[in-house]
Amino acid sequence: MIRHIVDLTSQQIGEGYERFVEEMRNNLQGWKGPSLFFHRKTIDFLREREQMPNFNYNQLLTNQNFLEYLYATLATWGIHNMRGPFMIDFEQFSQRLQGIAENLDIIRNQ
């Protein structure tokens, strides 16, 4: 089921983000193996790139290393199951992400 959330205030978004961060801190202790490895690789890569001058999501979402880290992260989180449901192929995944990069840049710059 997909939920649509409308009329969120910046305060509600901030509070939700703080709860998410706290939850992640508490639950990362139980993570081991490839799930944690690829999760950290993805986040570290993103944070490193965000510090660069003129950062934008189009550059990030065309970077092969980032896309591979993100793809592997989602797979190790259980998004892909050998019996189904299956993740889309990597090439489709990459193309679809590149299609949303411009929107992410617009949101980021508001």
pLDDT digits (tens, 9 = 90+) for 6-59: 455 667 666 766 776 677 777 666 667 888 899 889 999 999 999 999 999 899
pLDDT at 63: 95
Compute the distance between CA of residue 64 and CA of residue 59 in angstroms, rounded to an integer.
10
Q: Would residue 27 count as lying in a domain?
A: no
Q: Would residue 2 count as lying in a domain?
A: no
Q: Would residue 11 count as lying in a domain?
A: no
Q: Would residue 7 count as lying in a domain?
A: no
Reported as a single tens digit per residue, the pLDDT across 66-93 is 999 999 988 888 877 777 778 889 999 9
Which structural domain range is residue 100 located in? 32-108
Q: What Cα–Cα distance (Å) separates residue 4 from each residue in 1, 17, 18, 42, 99?
A: 10, 17, 20, 26, 21
Q: Would residue 42 count as lying in a domain?
A: yes
Q: Would residue 18 count as lying in a domain?
A: no
Q: Would residue 67 count as lying in a domain?
A: yes
Q: Would residue 10 count as lying in a domain?
A: no
Name the domain count of the chain: 1
pLDDT at 3: 43
